[in-house]
Amino acid sequence: MSPVGKSSYDVIVVGAGPAGATLGYELATKGINVLILEKERLPRYKACAGGVTVKTARLLDFDIGDVAQRVVTGVRVSYKGSKRFARDYGQPLVYMVMRDEFDQCLVQRAREAGAELVDNQEVLSVVPGDADVEVSTAAETFAAQVVAGADGANSIVATSIGLAEDREMGVALQAEVRVPSSTLRQWESLLGLELGHIRGGYGWVFPKRDHLSVGVGGPLCQAKKLKDAYKSVLIAEGLAGFASARPRSHFLPVLKNRGAIQRGRVLLLGDAAGLVDPLTGEGIYYAVKSGQLAASVIGECFASNATDLRPYQDAVARDILPELRAARALTRLFTWSTGSYVSAIESYDRLWRASCRLLRGETSYISLKRRLGKLQFVFDLLSR
Query: pLDDT of 120-149, one tens digit each?
Result: 999 999 999 989 999 999 999 999 999 999
Q: What is the pLDDT of residues 247-306, one digit of tens each?
A: 999 999 999 888 999 999 999 999 999 999 999 999 999 999 999 999 999 999 999 998
**Three-class SS string for 161-191?**
CCCCCCEEEEEEEEEEECCCHHHHHCCCCEE
pLDDT of residue 1: 31
Contact 191, 282 (CB under 8 A): no
Class of residue 213 by CB neighbours under 10 A (exposed 0-12, middle 13-18, buried 19+): buried
Taking 60 as the threshold, does the pLDDT of residue 318 lie above it?
yes
> What pLDDT is stored for residue 375 in this prediction?
63
Locate the domains of the chain by residue range.
Answer: 71-92+168-254
Average pLDDT over residues 344-356: 92
**DSSP classification of residue 65:** G
Q: How far apart are CA 317 and CA 364, in angstroms?
A: 16
Between 3.30.9.10, 3.30.470.30, 3.10.28.10, 3.40.50.970, what CATH number should domain 71-92+168-254 receive?
3.30.9.10
Segment 188-245, tens digit of pLDDT: 999 999 999 999 999 999 999 999 999 999 999 999 999 999 999 999 999 999 999 9
Q: Please calculate the CA angle 157-277-355 and round it to the nearest 5 degrees.
A: 160
Beta carbons of 274 and 256 less than 8 angstroms apart: yes
Burial of 57 per CB tally in 10 Å (0-12, 13-18, 19+):
buried
Distance, in Å, from the CA atom of 19 to the CA atom of 152, rounded to the nearest integer, reads 9
Look at residue 378 in the predicted model and tell me its pLDDT: 66
Contacts (Cβ under 8 Å, ≥6 apart) of 233: 194, 197, 203, 204, 205, 214, 215, 216, 239
What's the predicted TM-score (pTM) here?
0.95
pLDDT, tens digit, 9 for 90 and up, residues 42-80: 999 999 999 999 999 999 999 999 999 999 999 999 999
Residue 304 contacts residue 168 (beta carbons within 8 Å): no
**Do residues 333 and 381 lie in contact, with contact meaning Cβ atoms separated by under 8 Å?**
no
CA distance 29 to 163: 29
For residue 273, what is the DSSP state? G
282 within 8 A of 55, measured Cβ to Cβ: no
Q: Which residues pair with 294 in a beta bridge?
A: none
Report the pLDDT value the prediction gives residue 264, as an integer from 0 to 100: 96
